[in-house]
Amino acid sequence: MGPRFGVGRRGPPQLSRGRHRRGLHRRVFRGCTSLLDRAGLPRGHAGCMAERAVETPMAGESRHLAERGRATVGDLSPEPDEDPLAELTREVAALRDLFQRRLLEDRERRRLYDELHEQLQWARDGLSRQVLAPLLQELCLIVDRLDSAPEDEFTDSIRAELVEVLERRGVTAILPHGKPFDPAHHEATGTEPTGDGQLPGVVVAVQRPGYLLGDTLLRPARVVVSA
């Protein structure tokens, strides 16, 4: 059995109500213009009024929707930005703290580096003296023998080479002739009476030169001192 007349599917309720409202407004508009025609009045002003009456409901709905849209957009708008000066102050403070921490770390790192370098230098110097001192002392004795040997070209060349080796290793000779006696670096083997205008305690002869390795004494100089 098919659907009866007037009974069946209907469109959406909102669409039906809109159509009904617009049809009602049109009937009101036609009724107003008919009354004006019967009374012999012009239709221009009334037509405008009737048209406004017809358009007013739709315009009102449009304005309502627009206001709701503006309200929604206003709710979604971001909050005002934070004070730029306060934000900049915080950033500067954070950078200053970071700089101070890095500076302290660099100072501590440099201090540790200096201590390590000093310890390594001390250990290297100490090891060098322990290992090299006996060898350098032997070289000094060879130089002494060459000094007491008869002079010739071969002997002089060897002595010059040995002295150059000692100097490259930081060895310096102690030759204190005419200087005051120093028991830390001199070994007195005898004395001589002072002569005219001569002060006592002065080295008047060097029997064998002494040698220093840096500040370390390899051997003292053997000297004769005035008395």
**The predicted structure's pLDDT at residue 14:** 47
Question: Which tokens hold the place of 224?
Answer: 């004769």
154-182 pLDDT, tens digit each:
888 899 999 998 998 889 999 999 999 99
pLDDT of residue 24: 55
Average pLDDT, the chain: 74
pLDDT tens profile 175-221: 999 999 999 999 999 999 987 778 899 999 999 999 998 888 999 99
Longest dimension (CA), the chain: 166
Per-residue confidence (pLDDT) for residue 36, from 0 to 100? 52
Q: Would you say residue 148 has pLDDT above 70?
A: yes
Instruction: Determine the pLDDT at residue 222.
Output: 96
What is the value of pTM for the model shown? 0.46
What does the pLDDT look like over 112-139, one tens digit per residue?
A: 778 877 776 776 677 667 777 888 899 9
Each residue of 50-92: pLDDT tens digit? 455 444 444 555 555 556 555 554 444 455 556 778 888 888 8
Q: Higher confidence at residue 103 or residue 8?
A: 103
Secondary structure (DSSP) of the chain? -PPPTT-S----HHHHHHHHHHHHHHHHHHHHHHHHHHHT--SHHHHHHHHHHHHHHHHHHHHHHHHHHHHHHHHHSPPPPPPHHHHHHHHHHHHHHHHHHHHHHHHHHHHHHHHHHHHHHHHHHHHHHHHHHHHHHHHHHHHHHHHHSPP-HHHHHHHHHHHHHHHHTTEEEE--TTSB--TTTEEEEEEE---TTPPTTBEEEEEE-EEEETTEEEEPEEEEEE-
pLDDT in the model for residue 202: 94
Determine the pLDDT at residue 68.
Answer: 58
d(CA 36, CA 44): 10
CA gyration radius, the chain:
59
Exposed / middle / buried, residue 111 (Cβ in 10 Å: 0-12, 13-18, 19+): exposed
Model confidence at 5: pLDDT above 70: no
| 7-29 pLDDT per residue, tens | 444 444 444 555 555 565 566 55
Rounded distance between C-alpha atoms, residue 205 and residue 154, angstroms = 28
> Structural domain boundaries of the chain?
17-66, 128-226
- Inter-axis angle of helices 44-76 and 13-39, nearest 10: 150
The predicted model gives 139-158 an average pLDDT of 89
Under a CB-based contact definition with an 8 Å cutoff, are residues 170 and 206 in contact?
A: no
Residue 181 falls in which region: left (phi positive, over 0), alpha (psi -120 to 50) or beta: beta
Q: Which CATH class is domain 128-226?
A: mainly beta
For tokens 């409202």, the residue is 21
